Chains A and B, each alone.
Chain A
Amino acid sequence: MPGDITINICMGTGGIAAGGEAVMSAFEDALASADIAASVKKHCAAHKVGCRGFCARDVLVDVIENGGKHTYEYIKPDMVKRIVEEHLAGGQPVQEWLVKEDYHTFHGKQVRAVLADCGEMDPEDIEAYAGRGGYEAALKSLTSLAPTDIIEELKRSGLRGRGGAGFPTGLKWEMARNEPGDTKYIICNADEGDPGAFMDRSLVEGNPHAVIEGMLIGAYAIGAQRGYVYIRAEYPLAVQRLTIALGQARERGFLGRNIQNTGFDFDIKVKLGAGAFVCGEETALIASIEGNRGMPRAKPPFPAQKGLWGKPTVINNVETLANVPYIMRKGSGWFAGFGTEKSKGTKVFALTGKIRNSGLIEVPFGISLREIIFDIGGGIEGDRKLKAVQTGGPSGGCIPASLMETSVDYESLASAGSIVGSGGMVVLDETDCMVNVAKYFLEFTKSESCGKCIPCRVGTMRLLEILTRITSGKGRPGDVELLQELSEDIKMTSLCGLGQTAPNPVLSTIRYFKDEYDAHIIERRCPAGVCKSFIAFTVLEEFCKGCMACVRVCPSGAIVGEKKKPHRIVQDVCIKCGACFATCKFQAVRKRAVYGEIHTR
């Protein structure tokens, strides 16, 4: 109603971690008290909403009145009273707590298509979703469209899988639809195992109904009677909201028997994953649902031919499915209006690393990396120099600063030696060592390999061992070539996508940063000053005031000295954590290069 005030409080995992629940109850308490109600004189309702992207500013609170929106950042429970008094009752927003310019630039170049309702409504309320047009697409599909119409519409939209491989979704559905057989399945892949990725979690937490609606439309299009959401158990809030949403969808007749009196039956089961990265691979995921060890199998047959329990099965990523109702509601033309020739629509990325504004962003395909990093991301923290962007998580690669004009789409990122992947985007600056970055990702893939095939099981271990010796000052001439040969072996011969892409971080860093490898191996130094074997911390006596600050923070007791006298770092005890370096106010602690041991083969 006009005059009513809606208060949206971010309660995604980020919002809750920042204290969203306490802020929520502070608002509820305040609004429930009689004298405040009397002074506000308007109908106010506080809602929890899902992730809005800028988690670093949580708790974010929107106050919406007459279509106008004021957004507060960094809200704590004790700030609520003043907002209620001055803004809700007095009509004067608390200026100093409102979001600043960078909040708006963060959103400036974003397009909220699949995230349109995420962060704008209560994800635990089906009415909120329905009120924003939710389930209209499903209703229209089930009552007035033939399954093939839906598939054609999806093909026209150009939607491609958001789970990593970018396979055209309409085509995948058509394959499963054309397979003979009455029993078919649709699975939503919500395993999201890439380190640092939280796109799918945020979507399920913020708009679970869109995922359910997408699955319902998909089930109708391919002829499936049952669906599964395979979601990792480490996502308790997402699981909880999904379960609530499934219950509400059943109550409202969007799941179960005879959906909306159309005679179509469909229901969805939730299957919890135990946090193995490889279980995100579709055939391993199917094995896991079947109760077997999550190990991939050789394709063909593809899941669309022989999937769950040997039946034709469509597996789609969360974001892929959540796009479907919007495409069916707003039309393929609307969707295809975003993006490039071959990559249509938008993509959600988890923007992290050495960036000013990190968070969840949605951008149209075709935007440049520069726009993401400098416009949306606000540039590099501390105005240091950008070195590279790592995209696609452990399966992806690093794109150097010189290629920042690269368009973000499937083809361009691939030709730059990386991938769109599921949407991880880590920004690296001059203080990052690229060999160390490669090593970091190999540590991950090596321990997440299922062990089934030899190149991945043994090969990733050997890659990691070579990277480890390079970063610890024991690199040997020829190591780069050895890495390249082994990477090629693993890429070409591994059974599944995990192994086939695991060498990408190595290959792309060698492609663009071979000088850093050479510096480690030949010159025995780490240009970024990251690899511990190549650095030492020392105290410059003339600058040291003897304040004891470094002595107190040193976790290994390596710093000796008395008050008001210059301190000294005992090198044998020092673990090179850099705590003293970060603590010293007088720049008396210096990081310097040491030369590694010389090793020959």
Chain B
Amino acid sequence: MEKPINSISLVIDGKQISVPSGTTILDAAKQVGITIPALCYHPKVSRSGACRVCIVEVGGTLVTACTTPVSGGMEVITNSPYVENMRRDLIDLILSDHPYDCMVCQKTGECELQELAYKYSIRNPVFRGERRQYAQKDGNPFIDRDMEKCILCGRCVKICDEVQGVGAIDFAYKGFWAKVCPPFEQDLNCEFCGQCVMVCPTGALIGKNWVARGRYWNMREVESTCPYCGVGCTLSLHVKENEIVRVTAKEGRGVNDGLLCVKGRFGYQFVSSPDRLKTPLIRRRKGGDLEPATWDEALGVVASRLKRVKEQYGPDAIAGLSSARCTTEDNYLFQKFMRAAVGTNNVDHCARL
């Protein structure tokens, strides 16, 4: 049985609002147009309250807006000088252990930490001291991990575990030296779906092939459908000088709702590959090379061969196997063609193998 939803009234920065019970302060604030900064919160993963940046004042004490459910009569202040000062100091602490290399960082302009540093004008952190330094060493082809830039928000750990169901990474070590890494600090060896890269708020996780290929403001975004399989994920192709230099997916778009797999996210280079087929190929002489042909010629060859086999051996000598990379409509037509035109039920699909 569903629990009846009770409506709860509260005040956020002087604005009266009613929300269903169980709503967090962060989500309630969003509904009245108040954005509370947060670095570990992500809509796709469970709340952790690790970064503490979303602190707000409730009845004189500080609570994290992302983990605290609203309660009746609550008065929330999200932007008092006290809160803002605490928040500033938290960002300052993060920056005191962060390489200040935004100029060359791939994440520049899209970095949530940079945005907050900018908002709070932290040119030089008040707090200073030792910085974590790691020898970089990942050999995998897809993901660059720069753990000096990691703020341990835990989004990557959670999305890998809770959404992707892989659990390739987790926290290791303690305190200042706590670190997100694969077991025993080995190279990342996972599905490389890149969900972690998608949710990383800083430049700690970056697609290897994106590096130095362009800033996001110099790219054109083109929405497209992933050609790899029948799921048909909605992609955002980032195009620079007519070349795809990065692929992302947008939350709320298509069946994938922001998620992708390794192929869709990282396997886009084929589009501008010089090896790519642009016309059908036919072997005109036995033992000869495959040669470019027109579609009419190619379809003519297929039709005449199929006809000959059917006359000589009957329709059941022919079988058809279609591809998950085709659309549903294409697959429908294909089985129709096999059954109605060829006359056989020998038809199957690679997704069933």
Q: Any chain B CB within 8 A of the CB of A449?
A: yes
Q: Which residues of A contact B152 (CB under 8 A)?
A: 451-452, 454, 457
Q: Any chain A CB within 8 A of the CB of B239?
A: no
Interface residues of A in 404-453 (CB under 8 A from B): 446-453
Partner of A493 from B52, B69, B174, B176 at Cβ < 8 Å: B52
B49 near A293: Cβ-Cβ < 8 Å: no
Complex CA–CA separation, A26 to B93 (angstroms): 61
Q: Any chain A CB within 8 A of the CB of B51?
A: yes
A443-482 vs B, CB cutoff 8 Å, 1 = contact: the mask equals 0001111111111011111100100000000000000001
Q: Which residues of B contact A459 (CB under 8 A)?
A: 93, 127
B175 near A297: Cβ-Cβ < 8 Å: no
A282-305 vs B, CB cutoff 8 Å, 1 = contact: the mask equals 000000000001010110100000
A458 near B94: Cβ-Cβ < 8 Å: yes
Complex CA–CA separation, A295 to B172 (angstroms): 11
Q: Which residues of B contact A29 (CB under 8 A)?
A: none
A298 near B47: Cβ-Cβ < 8 Å: yes
Interface of A is mostly: helix
Q: Which residues of B contact A448 (CB under 8 A)?
A: 174-175
B62 near A492: Cβ-Cβ < 8 Å: yes
Closest residue of chain A to B154, judged by CB?
A452
Contact of A495 with B176 at beta-carbon distance under 8 Å, contacts A458-B96, A485-B89 already known:
no
Q: Any chain B CB within 8 A of the CB of A594?
A: no
Q: Which residues of A contact B52 (CB under 8 A)?
A: 453-455, 493-495
Contact of A298 with B89 at beta-carbon distance under 8 Å, contacts A293-B170, A449-B174, A451-B178 already known:
no
Q: Tell me which of A293, A297, A448, A453 has the highest count of chain B C-beta atoms within 10 A of its own C-beta.
A: A453
Q: Any chain B CB within 8 A of the CB of A489?
A: yes
Q: Any chain A CB within 8 A of the CB of B236?
A: no
Q: Any chain B CB within 8 A of the CB of A574?
A: no
B129 near A461: Cβ-Cβ < 8 Å: yes
Partner of A489 from B51, B68, B90, B97 at Cβ < 8 Å: B90
B50 near A462: Cβ-Cβ < 8 Å: no
A465 near B130: Cβ-Cβ < 8 Å: yes
Q: Any chain B CB within 8 A of the CB of A486?
A: yes
B129 near A462: Cβ-Cβ < 8 Å: yes
Q: Any chain B CB within 8 A of the CB of A175?
A: no
Partner of B176 from A295, A300, A458 at Cβ < 8 Å: A458
B127 near A493: Cβ-Cβ < 8 Å: no
B171 near A298: Cβ-Cβ < 8 Å: no
Q: Which residues of B contact A482 (CB under 8 A)?
A: 126-127
Contact of A457 with B62 at beta-carbon distance under 8 Å, contacts A465-B130, A489-B86 already known:
no
B129 near A465: Cβ-Cβ < 8 Å: yes
Complex CA–CA separation, A297 to B66 (angstroms): 12
A447 near B49: Cβ-Cβ < 8 Å: no
Q: Tell me which of A276, A458, A459, A489 has the highest count of chain B C-beta atoms within 10 A of its own C-beta.
A: A458
B127 near A486: Cβ-Cβ < 8 Å: yes
A449 near B171: Cβ-Cβ < 8 Å: no
B150-185 vs A, CB cutoff 8 Å, 1 = contact: the mask equals 011010000000000000001101111110000000
A462 near B49: Cβ-Cβ < 8 Å: no
Query: What's the nearest-Cβ distance from chain B to residue A87, in Å?
Result: 53
B97 near A458: Cβ-Cβ < 8 Å: yes
Q: Which residues of A contact B68 (CB under 8 A)?
A: 298, 300
A461 near B89: Cβ-Cβ < 8 Å: no
Query: What's the nearest-Cβ distance from chain B to residue A346, in Å?
Result: 32
Partner of B174 from A276, A297, A453, A485 at Cβ < 8 Å: A276
Q: Which residues of B contact A446 (CB under 8 A)?
A: 175-176
Complex CA–CA separation, A447 to B173 (angstroms): 10
Interface residues of A in 476-508 (CB under 8 A from B): 482, 485-486, 489, 492-495
Closest residue of chain B to A277, judged by CB?
B174
Interface residues of B in 20-63 (CB under 8 A from A): 47-53, 55, 62
B119-161 vs A, CB cutoff 8 Å, 1 = contact: the mask equals 0000000111110000000000000000000011010000000
Q: Any chain A CB within 8 A of the CB of B234?
A: no
Complex CA–CA separation, A450 to B52 (angstroms): 15
Partner of A452 from B47, B50, B53, B128 at Cβ < 8 Å: B50
A454 near B51: Cβ-Cβ < 8 Å: yes
Q: Any chain A CB within 8 A of the CB of B67?
A: yes
Q: Which residues of B contact A460 (CB under 8 A)?
A: 175-176
B93 near A462: Cβ-Cβ < 8 Å: yes
Complex CA–CA separation, A460 to B178 (angstroms): 13
Partner of B86 from A461, A462, A493 at Cβ < 8 Å: A493
Q: Any chain A CB within 8 A of the CB of B344?
A: no
Complex CA–CA separation, A598 to B90 (angstroms): 30
Complex CA–CA separation, A461 to B170 (angstroms): 22
Query: What's the nearest-Cβ distance from chain A to residue B157, in Å?
Result: 10
Query: What's the nearest-Cβ distance from chain A to residue B155, in Å?
Result: 13
A453 near B178: Cβ-Cβ < 8 Å: no
A298 near B151: Cβ-Cβ < 8 Å: no
A451 near B177: Cβ-Cβ < 8 Å: yes
B93 near A447: Cβ-Cβ < 8 Å: no
A454 near B175: Cβ-Cβ < 8 Å: no
A451 near B48: Cβ-Cβ < 8 Å: no
Query: What's the nearest-Cβ distance from chain B to residue A306, in Å?
Result: 12
Partner of A457 from B69, B89, B170, B175 at Cβ < 8 Å: B175
B48 near A297: Cβ-Cβ < 8 Å: yes
Complex CA–CA separation, A447 to B68 (angstroms): 28
Complex CA–CA separation, A453 to B53 (angstroms): 10
Complex CA–CA separation, A448 to B175 (angstroms): 6
Closest residue of chain B to A495, judged by CB?
B49
Complex CA–CA separation, A447 to B175 (angstroms): 6
Q: Which residues of A contact B170 (CB under 8 A)?
A: 293
B90 near A298: Cβ-Cβ < 8 Å: no
Q: Any chain A CB within 8 A of the CB of B64?
A: yes
Closest residue of chain A to B66, judged by CB?
A298
Q: Which residues of B contact A293 (CB under 8 A)?
A: 170-171
Q: Which residues of A contact B175 (CB under 8 A)?
A: 446-451, 457, 460-461
Closest residue of chain B to A450, judged by CB?
B174
A453 near B49: Cβ-Cβ < 8 Å: yes
In the A-B complex, list the 3 residue pairs whose CB atoms are closest, starting with the nearest.
Answer: A451-B178, A298-B49, A298-B67
New A-B contacts (18) at CB < 8 Å, excluding given A295-B171, A447-B174, A495-B64: A293-B170, A450-B178, A451-B171, A451-B174, A452-B48, A452-B171, A453-B50, A454-B151, A455-B90, A457-B178, A458-B93, A458-B176, A461-B129, A461-B176, A482-B126, A493-B90, A494-B52, A495-B52
17 cross-chain CB contacts under 8 A: A297-B49, A298-B47, A298-B49, A298-B67, A448-B174, A451-B173, A451-B178, A452-B48, A454-B52, A454-B151, A458-B93, A461-B97, A462-B93, A462-B129, A485-B89, A492-B86, A495-B50
